[in-house]
Amino acid sequence: MTRSPVLPFPRPAASDARDQEGPPADAGNAANLKELGRFLRAHRERTTPEDVGLPVNGRRRTPGLRREEVAALSGVGLAWYSWIEQGRVAASKHVLEAIGRTLRLEPAPSRHLLALAGHMPPPKPEVDHEALVRRASPLLDAWPTSPALLLDRRLDITAWNAAYAAVWSDPAEIAPERRNLMWTLVGDPAVRSGLVDPEPLARAVLAQMRMQTAPRMDDPRTQELYEVLNADFPELHEWWTCQGVADLTTRRIEVRTPGGDELRLDLHAMRPVDDPEGLVLLQAPVGPADHEAVVAAVRAGRFPISRTG
């Protein structure tokens, strides 16, 4: 049985142009430069004059900072900054770092900005994730009372254990093109109803997904994923075009199981060495009562030990 989607949530200065240049804007990185420009514009529009110590004189026609303000505060010529934001030129690392400081970027968005510009180590070629699935399945099974998932670099769900299927739902019931952690958080009714407060986790996963997929937006599966999300959830178009990025850090979530039990889980994201862009998500019960609630869900679910996509 393929599960149908449900309605989503309501809702220092550079001295001259040569100092400002980065890698040549050839066809190979043109898509990333366009993505970089969208990223800068989004963060410029949500940085207020007050954030950077500028006076506010009268009403502004557009939100956030003006391009000339970012350019001046970053020590970059207005025309050059405009070309960067339009994705027409590549900028040097120190220019982008100056712009990042102006926009008050946190460490993860700062790394993302440099990665889009080609100033970070290039992404490694995609590994044989299917081999990892086979090797990692026994690891997932070794956590019989902790829901666990294996995700690829797009956050597609590639393996899971019985505890995950029992507490959340069985990913095998989701069509392969939708078997993605982001999709389940907005489209799987069992996951949506199971989370006591679903939106914070969904936004955190979205920020992680954007950070991992943006440097390879020409990847066919990545394009398919965003097309599916836009088609299934047009009300969340602003989410799918959002430029916010962040690491998915450890967090506590509250869950209601299909049997009506409430439990607390600590979510941990870990990188497998065999696939540094993949993720293992482990949800550990917080206390004895939470542990027992997972045990009860597994017993009631009668799922096989592990499943793979």
Q: Give the start-to-end residue ranges of the domains of the chain.
A: 17-116, 129-308
In CATH, the number for domain 129-308 is: 3.30.450.180
For residue 9, what pLDDT is reported?
A: 41
What pLDDT score was predicted for residue 217? Answer: 85
Segment 81-91, tens digit of pLDDT: 999 999 999 89
Radius of gyration for the alpha carbons in the chain, expressed in angstroms and rounded? 22
Which of the residue ranges 62-76, 92-106, 160-174, 291-305 would you say has the lowest mean pLDDT?
A: 291-305
Q: Which two tokens stand for residue 239?
A: 């989410």
Q: Following CA atoms 152, 129, 278, 236 in sequence, which dihedral angle do they give, to the nearest 10 degrees?
A: -10
3-class SS of residue 205:
helix
Closest Cα to residue 163, out of 252, 269, 282, 280? 282
pLDDT at 211 over 70: yes
pTM: 0.77
C-alpha neighbours within 13 Å on the C-beta side of residue 198 = 21
CATH 1.10.260.40 holds for 17-116: yes
Q: How far apart are the first and last CA of the chain?
A: 14
| Stretch 215-236: mean pLDDT | 94
Query: For 39-43, what is the mean pLDDT?
Result: 93
B/e letters for 232-245, b = 16+ CB within 10 Å, e = fewer, are bbeebeebbeebbb
Which among 187, 173, 163, 127 has a CA at the least distance from the CA of 281?
163
8 Å CB contact between 151 and 281: yes
**DSSP code, position 4:** P
